[in-house]
Structure formats: C-alpha cells, structure tokens
C-alpha cells in the first residue's frame, strides 16, 4: 500500500497557509509532521483523511494498481476524543468497532493494551483526561484499518502511556500499517529502520511549505 500527496495546498479562514507540499509513504512506514502552531499540521491531516478538501493538489492511496478510498482505509484521531460522555467505555468502543468494521482486537484486549483493563463499564465522562485519550487510542485497535492519521496523539498522556503508545505504533508498522502523526514532541519512533536498512520514519516540517517562506 502506498499513499502519495502531490502539490497540496491548504487554507484556513479563506487564506492559504501552505502550498507545494508533496510526500510519499508506503507500507510499514510513518510520517511525523512537525511545525509551529498555525503552520497547518491539523489542516494537512484533515485533508489527507478527506475531512477537508485541498485548495490544490491531490492525495492518492493505492494497493498495487487499485486506488483505495482513504476514508475507508484510515483511522483518524484528532484533538477531540470523539466519544459520548454518558455512554460507557465499552459502549463507545463498540460503536466505533461496528462503525469502522474490520474487527481486530476485542474491547477487553484493546483496553488492556492501553493499561485500562477493568474500566469498560464506567461512563466515559468519569475518566481523567489521560484515561480518555487512552480510550481513544484503544479505538485504533478494536477495528483494523491500515492507515493511522493521528493529531497530537499523546496530548494528556504521562510518560508511561507515551511509551506504551510508541510501542503500539511500532507494532502497527511491523504489521504493514502506515502512520501519519502531527506532533510537537518526540513520539518515540525516531531512528527506526527496516531490515534492509531503509528509514521507516520520515519527518515533514510544515514551516518549509508555508506561503510566507515560499514567497
């Protein structure tokens, strides 16, 4: 599987914030998107997963010679956790499992993977900020989609949870998944290489594609 972005431009509030942005990632690889606040990291991720239309350019996901709809192949984890506070943790994850399809881990196993075993009966709204984020990470595990698009995924996490999520990302890549992550802190993926010696993790600095810099 291969994802290509070609000459993307994105806008916010009617103003172009980045342009001439291109990249390619393949199976088992990750792209870490960095840059200052307002540089367009979140806008780029929303364009890639189809939540926003690009001002220019295109995003294409292919498997062999077949074009694959990005929306059908990706998990998107944004700033908001996208969970119903009044529903239990289990009910929220069950909704997303059915909505996304492609069942992977059962809910209990997914919660155990983020060190939240035993909370599935609690209302989501009762959880701490860090616990809520970990439930949202568990959402990535209860249904299989090859492309994870995650925006500041470690927000609210302690160091132990950050390390646990880094291992989950590495495992996803080992299983031929792809990851695009926007972050302002290291995610623990730096320096990963394939068995052939190729870099598995690439970085993209949004500052290099700002309209001001290009002009």
Binding-site residues from annotation for ATP = 35-42
Which residues line the annotated binding site?
35-42
Q: How many CA atoms lie within 13 A of 149 on its CB side?
A: 21
- Who's near 174: CB < 8 A, 6+ residues apart? 28
**Residues 189/170, Cβ–Cβ less than 8 Å:** yes
Taking 3-state DSSP, the helix, strand and coil percentages for the chain, each rounded to the nearest 5, stand at 35, 30, 35
């Amino acid at each position: 599987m291969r994802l290509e972005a070609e000459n993307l431009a994105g806008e916010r509030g009617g103003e172009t914030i980045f342009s001439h942005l291109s990249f390619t990632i393949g199976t088992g690889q990750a792209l870490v998107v960095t840059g200052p606040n307002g540089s367009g990291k979140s806008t780029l991720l929303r364009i890639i997963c189809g939540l926003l239309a690009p001002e220019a350019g295109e995003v294409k996901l292919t498997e062999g010679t077949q074009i694959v709809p990005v929306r059908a192949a990706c998990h998107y984890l944004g700033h908001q956790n996208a969970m119903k506070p009044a529903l239990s943790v289990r009910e929220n994850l069950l909704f997303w499992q059915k909505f996304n399809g492609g069942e992977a881990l059962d809910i209990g196993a997914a919660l155990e993977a983020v060190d939240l075993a035993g909370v599935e009966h609690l209302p989501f709204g009762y959880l701490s900020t860090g616990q809520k984020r970990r439930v949202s990470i568990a959402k990535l595990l209860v249904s299989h989609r090859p492309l994870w698009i995650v925006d500041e995924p470690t927000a609210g996490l302690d160091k132990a949870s950050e390390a646990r999520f880094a291992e989950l990302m590495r495992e996803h890549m080992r299983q031929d998944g792809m990851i695009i992550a926007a972050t302002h802190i290291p995610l623990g993926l730096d320096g990963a290489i394939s068995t052939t010696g190729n870099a598995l993790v690439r970085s993209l600095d949004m500052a290099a594609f700002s309209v001001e810099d290009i002009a």
